[in-house]
Structure 1
C-alpha cells in the first residue's frame, strides 16, 4: 500500500508505551476476561465486554509505567496513522455526497490490556470497535497471530482492511444501523440473532471494500498483491475457517461474522461497485 506522506491525524492515540503488566484493577480486584478466539476480530466485542462489566463498581485506574516506543513501533504507528487519515478523508467525502456530516472516530493502539467505555479487554479479543466511546481499539500483535495461527498472508493491506472494517462499525453507529440491529435481535432465537450479527459484520466488510474503492480513486494507494492480502485476511477470519481450525468441525447456526466466502464477497462488492447503497447485507443474508 502506498501510504507515506500523509498528514498527522488528531484521532490516533498510541498507548503502547504505557504498560500495566496486562492487569486492570476493577472493583478493588483484578478481573480477567477471556474472549474466545471464535470471536476474533470483530466489531462489537467491546459491547459484549461492557455487558459483563456493567455490574462492577468502584473502578480504579491501573498502575502504568511509561517507556519510549521502538523504531519498529514508530513505523507501525506511522502506517496506522496513514490508514486512519485515509479513512477520515474517504468517509468525510462519502457522507458529504449523501448530505451528511461524518464524525471521526478515535483509534487506540494498546498492548496487552485496555480500559474502554465498553469495559476492559485484552489483546485476545482482537481489534474491536466500542460504540460507547466511538473508538477503535487494536493490539497490533493480532496480525502476527493472524499469519501464524490462522494462515493469512499478512502484509500492510491486511492491516488496512481490518482497520477499515472496524471503522465500518463506526459508520454503522453513526447511521443507526447497529442500534437497529440490536432492536431486531430482541425476541429472536439465538440462531436468528446470529444471522443479524452476520449481516452487520458483512456490511462492515462491504464498507472496507467501499473505502478501498474510494481511496484508490482519490490517492492511488493499491500496489500489486494488496487485494490478495485483504482477501486472505478476510478468509482467515471467516467463522467456518476459525471453527474448523479451533474445534475441528463447523456449526453454521453459531456463526456471528460470516463465512470466509461471504466476507471476501462483500469486501469485493464494496470495492467493485463503489456504491454505498449496494451494501444492504440485511436484505441478502437470510
Structure 2
C-alpha cells in the first residue's frame, strides 16, 4: 500500500502506554477467538467490555517493536485521513458536512463511553463518544492468530470501523440498536449481521475511491478480501469450538463478508450497501 508521504489525520488520540487498564491475565488463542466471535468489530460494547480480567492502572506491553509501532501509527493516521477525504466528499455532495470520527490508539485497555475496552476484543467503534479504538498490536494478531496480514488488511479493519461511524451519522446505527432491544436474541443477532455487513460494504466504498487516489498496489485489494474472510463468524466459531452455530452469528459468514466488501469495492455506491433489504 502506498501510504508513505500522504496526509496524516489529526483526529487521533494517542493513549499508548498511558495505563488505561490493560493488566491482568492475557487470554489465550481460544479465549481471544471467543471474544472475537461476540465482539469483533463491535458496536454496542456495553454488555461486553469491563471484564473482570482487567485491572486499572497496569500497563500491558505491546507485542510490537518500537519501530513497528511507529510505522503502524503513521499508517493508521494516513488511512484515517483517506477515509476523511472519501466520506467528506460524499457528505458534501449531498449538502451535508461530515463530522470525522476520532481514532484512539491505546495499549492493552482503555476507558470508553461504552465501558472498558480491551485489546483482545479487536478494534471497535463506540457510538457514545464517536471514536474508533485500536491497539496497534492487533496487526500482529491478524498475522499470527487470524491468518490475515499486510497493510491493506489493516486498512480494511480501520475502514470497517469508520463505516460504523458513517452508519451512526446516517442514523442507521441508533435505529438498529433500538430495534435490537425489542426483539428476541436470534433476531437481534440477525440485525447485527446486517449492520456489520453494511460496514464491510462501506469499507469497500472507501476502498473504491482510495484506489482511484492510487493508494493501493497490486494484490492489496485481494489482501483486504482475505482479511474479511478471516473474520467470518463461521470461520472463527469453527476455529474456537469445532462447530458452527449460524443463529449466533453477529457479523456474518466469511462468504457474506467478502461479498459485501466486494460489492462496495466494485460499485463505489453507498446505495448498493442496503444489507437490510437483502435476503
TM-score (norm 1): 0.86
Q: Which residue of 2 aligns with 1:274?
A: 268
Task: Specify the SS of the correspondent of 1:121.
Answer: strand
TM-score (norm 2): 0.88
Task: Specify the SS of the correspondent of 2:132.
Answer: strand
Contact 1:117 1:133 in 2 (8 A): yes
Contact 1:191 1:253 in 2 (8 A): yes
Equivalence map 1:64-79=2 (5 Å): 70-79=66-75
How many Å separate the matches in 1 of 2:181 and 2:74? 42
Task: Specify the SS of the correspondent of 1:115.
Answer: strand
How many Å apart are 1:143 and its aligned residue?
2.5
Q: Which residue of 1 aligns with 2:28?
A: none
Equivalence map 1:42-191=2 (5 Å): 42-49=41-48, 62=57, 70-152=66-148, 154-191=149-186
Contact 2:232 2:251 in 1 (8 A): yes
How many Å separate the matches in 1 of 2:164 and 2:205? 13
| Structure 2: tracts of 5 or more residues without a match | 25-31
How many Å separate the matches in 2 of 1:8 and 1:273? 27
How many Å apart are 1:19 and its aligned residue?
3.7
Q: Which residue of 2 aligns with 1:201?
A: 196
1:39 maps onto 2:38 in alignment: yes
How many Å separate the matches in 1 of 2:75 and 2:163? 19
- More off after superposition, 115-124 vs 256-265: 115-124
How many Å apart are 1:20 and its aligned residue?
5.5
Contact 2:20 2:58 in 1 (8 A): yes
Q: Which has the larger radius of gyration?
A: 1
Task: Give the RMSD, CA atoms, in angstroms.
Answer: 2.5
How many Å separate the matches in 2 of 1:76 and 1:207? 22
Contact 1:212 1:271 in 2 (8 A): yes
1:221 maps onto 2:211 in alignment: no
How many Å separate the matches in 2 of 1:17 and 1:254? 35
